Amino acid sequence: FSELRERMMATILEEKVTTPMQKKVEELKKRRAKVMLGGGGDKLEKQRKAGKLTARERIEALVDPDSFEENGLFAEHRSTMFGMEGKDMPADGVVTGAASVAGRLIHLASQDFTVGGGSAGEVHSIKVAEIMMHSLKTGSPFIFINDSGGARVQEGIDSLSGYGKVFYANVMLSGSVPQISLICGPCAGGAAYSPALTDFIIQTRQAQMFITGPQVIKGVTGEEVTAEQLGGADAHMTKSGVIHFIANDDRHAMQLCHKLLSFLPSNNLEDPPHVEGDRKVDPEHELCELVPTDPKKSYDIRGVITRLVDFGDFFEVQAGYAGNIVVGFARITGRSVGIIANQPKVLAGSLDINASDKSSRFIRFCNAFNIPLVTLVDVPGFLPGTQQEYGGIIRHGAKMLFAYSAATVPKITVILRKCYGGAYLAMCGKDLGADRVFAWPTAEVAVMGAEGAVDIVFRKELHEATDKKAKRAELIEQYREVFSTPYVAAGRRLVDAVIEPSLTRRHVAQALEYLQTKRELRPPKKHGLIPL
């Protein structure tokens, strides 16, 4: 009996395995397994030996476990020229889909360098553009992991058309959902413009990004330059200002992306995440000693920032570029804020072309995604010099005036020391719509510093004085008492309160609490015209 039962079970199992549906399922599994190998085991191993993760490993490192749902796994190119007919290009060289990060929906694309060098052809780019539109429809952030040699030359104008679709989608998403680009390998030619259209770029030290490579530059200009010098992470952080964060490797890039997302809402219709945070607003007495009362002495503004924000956690953006201004994300009693602060230890904290561009872009991002702005002011003015004038400091500085004036999120300004001239307005003075302006007792709000003002205002008195040095010192002190104290500005209602430095966090936290329901309308129009 038992022998008969075993034979019957074997027959049933054999029939089950060979049913038409089971055959189709087995075929599906084989096809899926083949596609998921990308360019093949050898190429995947070569990628790993180069210190990089594969396209799918990057996704796995970024998203929550088992949350990724792929879109377009079996997509194929349709090119038939230049050896492309019948050429196997699994997933057409890019993995796209949806997943969650810390429980929140995102959409993403990850280029596969093991498949045709990650080259972007027609279908490749259509896949990316389509998943971007899913991001827009669902109001979720879009993450693009770049690792591509550029346009697929064999597809000619079709590959360029594909790029155009991606660029157009970048613009459609702009201001609606956050867009983050991760540069984890080569990003050459037209491919570099998609990251440039996104909100933030994270580049690893193994990656290069440029429009024209070293060979082309040498051929045109004769200049010798390496790929690292031209398009490496350090070059783009310190010189071009194209990128926002440097990652040591792929896994570090994913960690930075995680942290960045934690400060941001999923879309422009949501408020940023409000976490438990640090509810303590006890006096920070170190602030009284951290900032010298002598306006000529420098200090690191980061020391002030870390004492104002929750747990001293400040996520600085573009830390290596335009060091005379510091921008980044933090939380104050659990609320995400964008911080803009002059840096007295670099160019005395003065505003120049690069600082104006850096801060204006950050301000506009925060405003688009409902992130309150906290501005810390210690600025002697705009940087003088022919290089700045010829470079268009007037136009670039005007971007700050525009960005702050256009912003409707809560705007809180704290004047620590110097606050002179047009830079006073550019750092979100009351007349540019600041909702709260606090000043420390050391604040000096004036058209210019007392030393320069005295030479203009009291020129006759100085000329007639017997002891010019003593007279000048007397007049400087007189000018400071009359014009440069925060109480004059407070008397004109340009400063809401003169506060103790140690209580700054308390005042800012309270202002954020009161301003959380702020609503401010603007005249109906297509858009303003920022002086680009």
Q: How far apart are CA 511 and CA 428, in angstroms?
A: 16
Count of C-beta atoms within a 10 Å radius of residue 523:
5
Catalytic residue among 93, 189, 338, 397: 189
Catalytic annotation present for 231: no
Please state, in angstroms and as integers, the Cα–Cα distance from residue 38 to each residue in 53, 280, 328, 511, following that order: 13, 51, 38, 53
Helices (H), 385-484: 386-391, 393-406, 421-426, 450-457, 459-464, 468-479
- Report phi then psi at 512, rounded to 5: -60, -40
Cα angle 261, 263, 264 (rounded to 5 degrees) comes to 65
Q: Which residues contact 290 (CB under 8 A, 6 or more apart)?
A: 299, 303, 304, 307
Q: Which residue is catalytic, options 72, 422, 429, 449?
A: 422
| 297 Cβ neighbours under 8 A, 6+ residues apart | none
| Residue 40 is a catalytic residue | no
* Burial profile 145-170: b = 16 or more Cβ within 10 angstroms, e = fewer: bbbbbbbbebbeebbeebbebbbebb
**Residue 76 exposed, middle or buried by CB count within 10 Å (0-12, 13-18, 19+):** middle
Query: Which of these is catalytic: 139, 156, 175, 190?
Result: 190
Quick check: is 423 catalytic? Answer: yes
**Residues 517, 268: Cα–Cα separation, whole Å:** 16
Return the SS3 of 416.
strand
Catalytic residue among 191, 423, 439, 511: 423
Tell which phi-psi region holds residue 177, choosing left (phi > 0), alpha (psi between -120 and 50) or beta. Answer: beta
β-strand pairing of 436-439 with 411-420: parallel
190 is catalytic: yes
Active site members: 189-190, 422-423
